[in-house]
Amino acid sequence: MPNPSLPNDQRPVDATIGGIGEIAALRRILPRLSSGDAALLGPGDDAAVVAASDGRFVVTTDLLVHGPDFRLAWSTPFELGWKAAATNLTDVAAMGARPTALVVAIAAPPASSPALLEGIADGLREALAALAPGAGVVGGDLSASDVLTIAVTAFGDLEGRAPVLRSGARAGDVIAHAGTRGDAARGLALLFAEATDAAGEPDANLAAALRERRPDLVRAQLAPSPPVRAGVIAATAGATSMLDVSDGLARDARRVAEASGVDLDFSSEALGGDPDVVRWALAGGEDHGMLATFPAGTEIPAPFERIGRVVAGGGRILLDGREAGADGWDPYSGWDGRAG
């Protein structure tokens, strides 16, 4: 059994991805994955074939890069695979589509253990089973890189429905949200505050202790469980607009407001009442909840809850009728106005 305490250049050659090569690595990954119900032709050829029942498909893509998006000292390979699936499934669901398939490309340092790829594959499989039953991984690619990078492309089936866009909100609509608000950002803030060493570097042992103390918030950041099924529920109930809240409720809501030419007015009481809770709810990102608007008089379907209303305007975010900031996550600058 390989000794993980040995430096990479002293490990047996078959203990690294570079040592076993791409073909052997794929042989370890593919049996751990399912192609899903929509795959007419899964991995094994130059491309997969995926069914699209009404002749259309929804497609999106996302990257997870070591450094700006995750730290190996904090995240397990399983959690990386889980989060890579979750963050893409919600983008498909936010269009009102049912996720059907993922294509996953991984670029990893050749000195990495094959267990890294196996763990990522396990996380992908389990996230799909839990969040989008019937969806699967139909293909992908492996490459070498100095920086671990996971790229996922997700596909979805509209099943005859019109896509739900960001541009459909109208004055008088109800604003509703499904999922947690601010937990992932609070988890990340705790990791930076309590799971870094004296030099400010991520520390695995400190992260393990934090997991014991606040497993809910750490899990919300490292392996979120967003309400993927809520996308189809909202579309079926007549949602006029919708999007996945990945960069913070306020920042993402502004995208709806600008696309629709309206203002979105949130209720502080509906967001929790306490100023600190409201601040986290508005500015915290990566919960991957669903923000949707529904026509007035619509029975808001579970798991959504009312958190505000759409009013006439031109792209502003309001809180109790007063203009509020649109702080949140930016991949180039981090969090603007981090709550705490």
Residues in the chain: 340
pLDDT digits (tens, 9 = 90+) for 54-78: 899 999 999 999 999 999 999 999 9
Q: Is 167 labeled as ligand-binding?
A: no
Q: Is 330 labeled as ligand-binding?
A: no
Q: Are the CB atoms for 337 and 327 separated by under 8 Å?
A: yes
Q: Is 248 labeled as ligand-binding?
A: no
Q: Is 156 labeled as ligand-binding?
A: no
* pLDDT of 331 over the 70 cut: no
d(CA 165, CA 306) in angstroms, rounded, equals 19
* pLDDT of 4 over the 60 cut: no
Which structural domains are found in the chain, ordered by start? 8-157 (3.30.1330.10), 166-335 (3.90.650.10)
Q: Is 118 labeled as ligand-binding?
A: no
- pLDDT for 78 equals 98
Residue 136's SS3 state is strand
Q: Is 166 labeled as ligand-binding?
A: yes
d(CA 284, CA 130) in angstroms, rounded, equals 24
- pLDDT for 330 equals 54
Q: Is 268 labeled as ligand-binding?
A: no
Q: Is 34 labeled as ligand-binding?
A: no
Give the pLDDT mean for 183-208. Answer: 96
* pLDDT of 123 over the 90 cut: yes
Q: Is 225 labeled as ligand-binding?
A: no
Q: Is 14 labeled as ligand-binding?
A: no
Query: Considering the chain, what is the average pLDDT of its residues?
Result: 91
With a pLDDT cut of 70, the percent of the chain lying above it is 91
CA-based max dimension of the chain: 67
* pLDDT of 9 over the 50 cut: no
d(CA 47, CA 45) in angstroms, rounded, equals 5
Give the pLDDT mean for 198-206. Answer: 95
Give the pLDDT mean for 263-275. Answer: 97
Query: How is residue 296 written in tokens?
Result: 């007035």
- pLDDT for 266 equals 98
Range with the poorest average pLDDT among 10-24, 103-117, 180-194, 324-338: 324-338
Give the pLDDT mean for 164-180. Answer: 98
Using pLDDT thresholds of 50, 70 and 90, give the confidence band for residue 43. Answer: confident
Q: Is 46 labeled as ligand-binding?
A: yes
CB within 8 Å of 123: residues ≥ 6 apart: 76, 77, 78, 79, 80, 81, 82, 83, 84, 85, 223
Give the pLDDT mean for 26-30. Answer: 88
Using pLDDT thresholds of 50, 70 and 90, give the confidence band for residue 14. Answer: low
Q: Is 62 labeled as ligand-binding?
A: yes
Residue 171's SS3 state is coil
Give the pLDDT mean for 164-191. Answer: 97
